[in-house]
Amino acid sequence: MDGNKLVKKARDGDKHAFAALYIRYKDSLYRYAYYKLRSAEDANDAVSACVTQAYMGICSIRNEKAFSSWLFRILYRECCAIIRKKTQLSFAEIDENRYAVPDGTYIRSELSEALDSLAAEDRDIVLLSVVAGYNSQEIAQMLRMNPSTVRSRLSRALGRMRQFLE
């Protein structure tokens, strides 16, 4: 079924339509949260909180086409809240398994360090583009920026990462 129709049905209270939307987006949500938070447990928490908030607030969405951006904006806020909470609780050492990805592969430490070298907003743009697969228009909606700003920041961030990796 078309995503816009699913959003309309979910907005009208159809639980099955919302479940179908969840199934459609869960992998992208988790992947983004995992790379942003670098913890499987935190990523699951963020996605869970995001989906709960989305379910409770789906009736407020006016434009079905904006659902994806709206959903990722919720996830972005949840990830930021988890980061703030962790920062406030302690300044513990970095987890030695920070480069492990849940499917058993590993991110090269250099790539992770290159991501870490970016400003937080630039890192979010790279993650939304490369990991979650969104285009500059969609990222601009999520982060409330101009699409041309997103494109230029993405280009500069990828260039800085390329220099870091060389």
With CA atoms as reference, report the closest residue to 28 among 158, 142, 146, 112.
142
pLDDT above 90: percentage of residues in the chain: 46
What is the residue range of 67's domain? 1-95
Q: Is residue 148 part of a domain?
A: yes
pLDDT for the residue 108:
57
Q: Is residue 132 part of a domain?
A: yes
User: Tens digits of per-residue pLDDT, 54-68?
Assistant: 999 999 888 888 898
Let me know whether 122 and 81 are in one domain.
Answer: no
User: Do 129 and 67 form a contact (C-beta atoms < 8 A)?
Assistant: no
Where is the domain boundary, 95, 114, 143? 95
Decide: residue 145, CB within 10 A, 0-12 exposed, 13-18 middle, 19+ buried.
Answer: middle
Question: How many whole angstroms separate alpha carbon 164 and alpha carbon 160?
Answer: 6
Give the pTM: 0.68
Total number of domains constituting the chain = 2
Residue ranges for the chain with pLDDT beneath 70:
1, 87-109
pLDDT for the residue 79:
92
The dihedrals phi and psi of 21, each to the nearest 5 degrees, come to -65, -40
Let me know whether 26 and 71 are in one domain.
Answer: yes
Let me know whether 88 and 116 are in one domain.
Answer: no
Let me know whether 148 and 86 are in one domain.
Answer: no
Let me know whether 155 and 114 are in one domain.
Answer: yes
Let me know whether 155 and 88 are in one domain.
Answer: no
pLDDT for the residue 105:
46
